[in-house]
Amino acid sequence: MRVLVIEDDEEMAQTVAIGLRRAQMAVDVAFDGQDGLARALLSDYDVVVLDRDLPRMHGDDVCAELIAAGCRCRTLMLTAAASADDLVDGLSLGADDYLPKPFDFPVLVARIRALGRRAHPAVPPVLRHGDLVVDTARRRAGRGERPLELSPKEFGVLESLLTAEGRVVSAEELLERVWDEAADPFTSAVKITVSRLRAKLGDPPVIETVPKRGYRI
């Protein structure tokens, strides 16, 4: 899952980003409304965590612009205001969820994952292929009776390939979905991760390499 955090408090933004990365999400950060909107329109995010009180462009306006542009990402709006009127205002703008500050971090993670399951395309809580089972909600995977100990990136690649349902997924798309914007586009990280994932999945092989195109289940 790829997430954009738009928050002008840099310390809070980085703290949230670090926590979400530990929860196996690819996270980018913007510190003002204009930059956040530009990033959200440029990249294919599953969820945008949007602070309401932002410099350069108010969070309400960012949310409205995302809706007007037909952006398919889900929006979780954050605000220090916690009244019923604020909640109604936030949701009426087109936000998919609303969380007042301060918040418990596990609640934020749970809300983001719930929104991610409603993103495009909708990701079922459990993905299956033969004897391979991936629980996207609990972040667990297994093949047959054997649990799979996967790194966050390995899990993300496997989830992306299973979600594609047999469609060829390019290395560039995997890099965008599983890594973040800091990833080097010329890196061999995808190839190395797929190789390690194949070794952990064992036989019979599950992931096929399609020459010059990418990978598929």
**What tens digit of pLDDT does each residue of 91-139 get?**
667 788 888 888 999 999 999 988 887 765 556 678 899 999 999 878 8
The low-confidence residues of the chain, meaning pLDDT below 50, are none
What pLDDT does residue 71 have? Answer: 86
pTM of the predicted model, to two decimals?
0.68
Whether omega for the bond prior to residue 121 falls within 30 degrees of 0, making it cis, is yes
What is the rounded distance in angstroms from the CA atom of residue 203 to the CA atom of residue 209? 15
CA–CA distances in Å: residue 146 to residues 2, 47, 114, 133, 178: 28, 32, 27, 10, 24
Q: Could you tell me if 44 and 74 are in contact, meaning their C-beta atoms sit under 8 angstroms apart?
A: no
What is the rounded distance in angstroms from the CA atom of residue 125 to the CA atom of residue 7? 29
Q: What residue spans define the domains of the chain?
A: 2-116, 126-216
What pLDDT does residue 178 have? Answer: 87
Q: Do domains 2-116 and 126-216 have the same CATH topology?
A: no
Superfamily for the 2-116 domain: Response regulator (3.40.50.2300)
What is the rounded distance in angstroms from the CA atom of residue 1 to the CA atom of residue 112? 9
What pLDDT does residue 62 have? Answer: 94
Give the CA dihedral 36, 66, 111, 81, nearest 10 degrees: 70
What is the rounded distance in angstroms from the CA atom of residue 5 to the CA atom of residue 14? 9
What CATH number matches the domain at 126-216, 1.20.1740.10, 1.10.10.10, 2.40.50.100, 1.20.1050.40? 1.10.10.10
Q: Could you tell me if 109 and 22 are in contact, meaning their C-beta atoms sit under 8 angstroms apart?
A: no
The alpha helices in the chain, defined as continuous H runs, are 10-22, 33-42, 59-68, 84-92, 105-116, 152-163, 171-178, 189-201
What pLDDT does residue 209 have? Answer: 94
The number of beta carbons lying within 10 Å of the beta carbon of residue 165 is: 11
What pLDDT does residue 149 have? Answer: 94
